[in-house]
Structure 1
Amino acid sequence: MLQSGISSMQSAVIGLCLDRRVAAWKLGWNLKLLAIVCSVSLQFLTHLVLRDVNEARQTVSRPIYV
């Protein structure tokens, strides 16, 4: 998560250095924005599923003490 945030900031700074026009940074509802939204949604869902699977594996491997 931290690496993604730092990478995003680094990309934004490099992008601003390369192209400072405001029109280049405007977002519009097009296929590129839809692709970004879909990929972020899939990444979030994958994270949730893998977290639940990991928790299930940990509970199976831990002995229950009475």
Structure 2
Amino acid sequence: MIQIFLIISIISIIISGMFLGVWTSGQQQRANYHSETKDHRDFRSRVGIYAGLIGLASLGLAGLLYYI
């Protein structure tokens, strides 16, 4: 059960990083910002934040299950 929550958390955090543009350089981030619409940017941010929250919750559950 712990492994399932760890896998979910790792995948969710990677998806969050991809949608929020965490692993891009400053120049690429600036180019992405100026080349997309506000709606697209809001969608990417929303998906990134939700995926990050799911990842953190799954990681917390895995830690909780480990110590119980």
Normalised-by-shorter TM-score class: 0.3 to 0.5
Give the TM-score taking structure 2 as reference length. 0.46
Give the TM-score taking structure 1 as reference length. 0.48
